[in-house]
Amino acid sequence: MKLRQLEMALQRCTGFEKPRAAWEQYQTPATLAARLLYDAYMNGDIKGKGVCDLGCGTGILAIGAALLGAKTVRAVDLDPKAVRTAGENAALLHADVEFVVADIDGADAGGLADRIGPCDTVVMNPPFGAQKQKVHADRPFIDCALTIAPVTYGIFNTGSTPFVEAYIKGRGRVAGRVSGTFPIKRSFAFHTKDVQEIVVEILRLVRN
């Protein structure tokens, strides 16, 4: 499957029915999801691999990994409604994905790595912490990713590379970076624009 074909397939995925601002529920754009996944695919980190999507939302990254030939795909999110939508999206695109309802940054975090089990590659679009009033809300996702997989691809706010490098020092390294944009459509009352373009970076993390 070529990049454009993947992007077109992922555009069929349904977004959040009633997104919650506190959980930063923004649908990952198909163009950005396809770019992350294809970068991972070209690096040999998707086809024939065990892949896990942490904070899967409505499943676009997990589904894309399955479409690109992942051996197994697991996807984790704390919102049962989002997981239900993700399951419907997977069925629509005939993607074989196992969904798990669990909170990566909460009561489930302690034993979550054991529950998910090891995999080859993590893909994720973790929260940036903008609405939770919590600095570096992506930390539990990074921690879990480094525990369960030797390679991780994640979407982060632009300029996050120095923080991530410092945070994972001694545990892993940033082995690649790709710039991108994350268009956020007007979803909540506090949004002032119909579309807000957020500059992001896709980081490839390799565990020591």
Phi, psi of 140 (to 5 degrees): -60, -30
- Intervals of the chain under pLDDT 50: 131-133, 188-191
Ramachandran bin of 150, using left for φ above 0, alpha for ψ from -120 to 50, beta for the remaining angles: alpha
pLDDT for 110 equals 60
User: What is the value of pTM for the model shown?
Assistant: 0.88
How far apart, in whole angstroms, are the C-alpha atoms of residue 179 and residue 95?
27
pLDDT for 197 equals 82
Q: Which two tokens stand for residue 170?
A: 């001694």
pLDDT for 117 equals 87
How far apart, in whole angstroms, are the C-alpha atoms of residue 21 and residue 194?
16
Q: Tell me the per-residue pLDDT of 100-120, one tens digit each, with 9 for 90 and over.
A: 999 887 655 567 788 888 999
What is the SS3 string spanning 31-59?
HHHHHHHHHHHHCCCCCCCEEEEECCCCC
pLDDT for 208 equals 96
Give exposure, 126-147, as e/b (b: 16+ Cβ within 10 Å).
bbbeebeeeeebbbbbbbbbbe
Sign (positive/negative) of CA torsion 17, 20, 35, 153? negative
Partner residues linked to 201 by β-bridges: 156, 179
For residues 38 and 64, the answer to whether their CB atoms sit within 8 Å is: no
How far apart, in whole angstroms, are the C-alpha atoms of residue 177 and residue 106?
29
Provide the domain limits for residue 152. 3-207
pLDDT for 170 equals 97
Number of domains in the chain: 1
Tell me the CATH number at 59: 3.40.50.150
